[in-house]
């Protein structure tokens, strides 16, 4: 480190300072938010029956940890989200590949995909309950329905915008369209597939919660609906906090995957 | 003399909803083994189309193409095609880029791998085998692209303005470099370019095309009296200017 010039050292110092300010500010915002919430609820500025308070939420969470019921709810929601996410990724890659292979097929199906993509998917949830019953399958399908059409469209778009020169290269080397797919289109679409995953994990969670609102007996979505009906605001806000944490964790996983991939590709 | 390539009365047109654009009319010529031919013509006259036809990427509307005496469709000869850009894949190392053609044609054996290593070594890229393309200079990238073509052991090389994406100085060097590699490997080559001095410095013969729809206007054989006949030496030879002016005049006269 000693052989760095003074200019470089100063630059690094500035950079570290900037990073520190960002990190501390972020934590301060969270802490002051929690503090103001707790304080105003305690002195009675806001009604803690309606707005709850951080300490009540924490106590409520601890209580559910002790009787272990919270793990069931978190586990179910997580399971449904991950299953629907994986299915969305697998199916949308397969469909996008099929559309890429046959431009005729993609031209034929285009209006259907556009309509299905712009349809508000929550409208489908009651239909799914009638068709599939109030089961986990329904909720997984609800989660998929939110993400899948947009996912297909964005993957297909990224497949078709691959550098035509690279595809021509494959043909000049005596390759077929299949080679173009596995040697060029898929590898060069890896960044697009991952950014697509980032969007989809959030959307699947949205879909799963919608599904649980309507057709579940466990899961965080069920907990939210149930607690609003019996006016247990501690439960409701705790569930929302847990959803925040879950969304962040899932997103962080995909970020880590992206980092790993960008090293390899 | 053995003919590597033979074109007879080739016609080609592009079709769009707005209409038909005739691109090539009645193109006939042949290429001997080990011969280097340049094709020059006004821009957009269909030079690249000609190469795509020979590579079998598109089929002519009329006429026939023979490679090593066999019709293009039945031919098993490898035709190497060098594109304007090197098109090296950033997600592969240089070595893995070089063996891409072997992978695609299921020709990846111990022997062909060995050959890839040898060529990389021979043309000074050995130490970059496991580098990414972005770590190489433009000239080295173009060399790697040439090796990618050469490992398939093509009898005929098609060069589609392969130096046009390089800056002028690199271009002279790479042109010289690639030209000598092709001579050394004793390949027949067909170079399409709009750079007259490039065409003259590399080829045995220059074919001049007319504007669209292109037909052959003239064929000019190039003969240099040089002890070491390299592209860079040619540029300094007295004949160079004569040929340049001759081709320039041909390109700029409309019949």
Residue A265 has pLDDT above 80, yes or no: no
What is the Cα–Cα distance from A60 to A65, expressed in whole angstroms? 9
Are B228 and B188 within one domain?
Answer: yes
| More confident site: B170 or A156 | A156
Which of the four pLDDT bands, split at 50, 70 and 90, describes residue B215?
confident
Q: Average the pLDDT over B174-190 and give the result.
A: 84
Question: In this complex, which of A163, A172, A175 lies closest to B55 when CB atoms are compared?
Answer: A172
User: B206: which strand partners?
Assistant: B38, B220
Instruction: Using a CB–CB cutoff of 8 Å, tell me whether A263 touches chain B.
Output: no
Q: Is residue A1 part of a domain?
A: no
Of residues A163, A183, A265, nearest to B100 (C-beta): A183
Considering the domain architecture, whether residues B97 and B48 belong to the same structural domain is answered as no
Q: Does residue A183 belong to any structural domain of this protein? A: yes
State the pairing for strand pair B156-160/B36-40: unpaired
Are B75 and B154 within 8 A, CB to CB? Answer: no
Q: Is A192 on the interface with B (CB under 8 A)?
A: no
Q: Testing the interface with A: which of B89, B99, B108, B158 to mutate, by most A Cβ within 10 A?
A: B89
**Lowest mean pLDDT, pick from A122-131, A150-159, B195-204, B222-231:** B222-231
Q: Which residues of B touch A (CB under 8 A)?
A: 55, 57, 78, 80-81, 83-85, 87, 89-91, 100-101, 103-105, 148, 152
Q: Are residues A65 and A37 in the same domain?
A: no
- Rounded distance between C-alpha atoms, residue A27 and residue B11, angstroms: 72
Best to test chain A binding among B76, B104, B192 (most A CBs inside 10 Å): B104
Confidence of residue B255 (pLDDT cuts 50, 70, 90): low
A219 and A259 belong to one structural domain: yes
pLDDT at A238 over 70: yes
Residues B73 and B160 in one domain: yes
The whole-number average pLDDT for the span B200-215 is 86
pLDDT of residue B209: 87
Enclosing domain of residue A233: 56-264
Residue B246 lies in a domain: yes
Q: Do residue A172 and residue B83 have CB atoms under 8 angstroms apart?
A: yes
Using pLDDT thresholds of 50, 70 and 90, give the confidence band for residue A227: very high
Q: Which of the given ranges, A185-189, B75-79, B161-165, has the highest pLDDT on average?
A: A185-189
Judged against a pLDDT cut of 60, whether residue A100 lies above it is answered with: yes
Residues B87, A187: C-beta atoms closer than 8 Å: no
**Chain A residues closer than 8 Å to B91 by CB:** 187-188, 190, 264-265
pLDDT recorded at residue A30: 94
Q: Is the pLDDT of residue A62 over 90?
A: yes
Tens of pLDDT, residue by residue over B9-63, are 888 888 888 888 888 888 888 888 888 999 988 877 788 888 888 888 888 888 8
Please give the pLDDT value at position A189. 92
CB B7 within 8 A of CB B28: yes
Res. A141: pLDDT tops 80: yes
CATH of the domain at B224: 3.40.50.300
Q: Please provide residue A64's backbone torsions phi and psi, each rounded to the nearest 5 degrees.
A: -75, -25
**Same domain, yes or no: A112 and A232:** yes
Residue B114 lies in a domain: yes
Give the number of domains in chain B: 2
Q: How many helices (H) and strands (E) does chain A have?
A: 12, 0
Boundaries of domain holding B94: 89-154
Task: Kindly state whether residue B82 falls inside one of the protein's structural domains.
Answer: no
Q: How confident is the model at residue A58 (pLDDT cuts 50, 70, 90)?
A: very high
Query: B243 in a domain, yes or no?
Result: yes
* Residue B72 pLDDT exceeds 80: no
Looking at the fold, whether A27 and A106 belong to one and the same domain comes out as: no
A99 and A40, same domain (yes or no): no
Query: Within a domain: residue A51?
Result: no
**Total domains present in chain A:** 2
Same domain for B242 and B201: yes
For residues A103 and A14, membership in a common domain is answered with no
The reply to whether B182 falls in a domain is yes
| Burial category of B206 from C-beta neighbours within 10 Å (exposed 0-12, middle 13-18, buried 19 and up) | buried
Q: In what order do the strands lie in the sheet with B216-221?
A: B79-82, B156-160, B188-192, B36-40, B205-209, B216-221
Distance from CA of A262 to the nearest CA of B (A): 9
A152 and A247 both lie in a single domain: yes
Predicted local confidence at residue B212, as pLDDT = 79
pLDDT value, residue B33: 86
ipTM reported for the complex, 2 dp = 0.86
Q: Determine the distance in angstroms separating the CA of B112 from the nearest CA of chain A, rounded to an integer.
A: 15
The Cα B39–Cα B190 span in angstroms is 7
Q: How many CB pairs under 8 A join A and B?
A: 48
CA distance A174 to chain B (A): 7
Q: Indicate whether A40 and A93 sit together in one domain.
A: no
- Asked if residue B156 lies in contact with residue B188, where contact means CB atoms within 8 angstroms, the answer is yes
CATH number, position A206:
1.10.3720.10
Most B-contacting residue of A171, A172, A179 (CB-CB within 10 A), to test interface = A172
Which has the closest alpha carbon to B193: B184, B202, B204? B202
Rounded to the nearest angstrom, the minimum Cα separation between A147 and chain B is 29
Do B173 and B65 fall within a single domain? yes
| Per-residue pLDDT at A50 | 87
The pLDDT of B111-116, averaged and rounded, is 91
- A108 plus A88 within the same structural domain: yes
The larger pLDDT score, comparing residue A27 to residue B20, is at: A27
Please, which pLDDT band fits residue A2 given cuts at 50, 70 and 90?
Answer: low
How far A30 CA sits from the closest chain B CA (Å)?
41
Query: Structure pTM?
Result: 0.83
**Residue A113 backbone dihedrals phi, psi, to 5 degrees:** -65, -40
B83 lies in some domain: no
């Amino acid at each position: 480190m000693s052989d760095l010039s003074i200019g470089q050292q100063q630059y690094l110092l500035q950079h570290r300072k900037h990073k520190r300010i960002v990190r501390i500010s972020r934590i301060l915002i969270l802490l002051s938010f929690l503090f103001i919430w707790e304080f105003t609820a305690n002195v009675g500025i806001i009604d803690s029956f309606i707005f709850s308070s951080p300490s009540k939420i924490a106590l409520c969470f601890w209580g559910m940890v002790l009787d272990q019921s919270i793990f069931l709810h978190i586990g179910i929601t997580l399971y449904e989200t991950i299953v629907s996410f994986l299915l969305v990724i697998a199916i949308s890659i397969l469909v996008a590949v099929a559309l890429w292979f046959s431009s005729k097929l993609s031209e034929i199906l285009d209006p259907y995909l556009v309509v299905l993509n712009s349809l508000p998917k929550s409208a489908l949830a009651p239909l799914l309950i009638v068709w599939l019953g109030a089961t986990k399958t329904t909720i997984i399908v609800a989660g998929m329905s939110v993400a899948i059409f947009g996912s297909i469209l964005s993957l297909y778009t990224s497949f078709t915008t691959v550098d035509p020169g690279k595809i021509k290269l494959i043909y000049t080397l005596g390759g077929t369209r299949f080679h173009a797919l596995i040697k060029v289109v898929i590898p060069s679409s890896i960044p697009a597939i991952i950014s697509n995953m980032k969007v989809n994990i959030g959307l699947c969670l949205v879909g799963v919660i919608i599904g649980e609102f309507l057709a579940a007996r466990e899961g965080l979505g069920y907990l939210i609906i149930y607690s609003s009906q019996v006016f247990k605001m501690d439960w409701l806000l705790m569930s929302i906090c847990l959803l925040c944490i879950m969304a962040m964790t899932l997103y962080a996983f995909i970020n880590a995957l992206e980092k790993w991939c960008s090293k390899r590709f | 003399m053995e003919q590597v390539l033979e074109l007879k009365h080739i016609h080609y047109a592009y079709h769009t909803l707005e209409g038909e654009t005739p691109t090539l009319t009645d193109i006939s010529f042949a290429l001997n083994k080990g011969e280097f031919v340049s094709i020059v013509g006004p821009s957009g006259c269909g030079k690249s189309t000609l190469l795509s036809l020979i590579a079998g990427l598109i089929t002519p509307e009329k006429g026939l193409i023979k490679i090593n005496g066999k019709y293009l469709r039945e031919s098993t000869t490898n035709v190497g095609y060098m594109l304007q850009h090197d098109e090296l894949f950033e997600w592969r190392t240089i070595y893995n880029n070089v063996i891409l053609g072997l992978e695609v044609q299921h020709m990846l054996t111990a022997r062909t791998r060995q050959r890839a290593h040898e060529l990389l070594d021979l043309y000074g890229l050995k130490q970059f085998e496991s580098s990414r393309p972005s770590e190489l200079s433009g000239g080295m990238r173009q060399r790697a692209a040439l090796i990618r073509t050469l490992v398939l052991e093509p009898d005929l090389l098609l060069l589609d303005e392969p130096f046009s994406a390089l800056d002028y100085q690199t271009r002279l060097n790479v042109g010289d470099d690639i030209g000598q590699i092709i001579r050394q490997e004793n390949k027949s080559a067909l170079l399409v370019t709009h750079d007259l001095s490039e065409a003259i410095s590399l080829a045995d013969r220059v074919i001049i095309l007319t504007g669209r729809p292109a037909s052959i206007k003239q064929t000019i054989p190039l003969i240099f009296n040089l002890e070491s006949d390299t592209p860079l030496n040619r540029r300094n030879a007295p004949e160079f200017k004569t040929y340049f002016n001759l081709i320039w005049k041909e390109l700029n006269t409309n019949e």
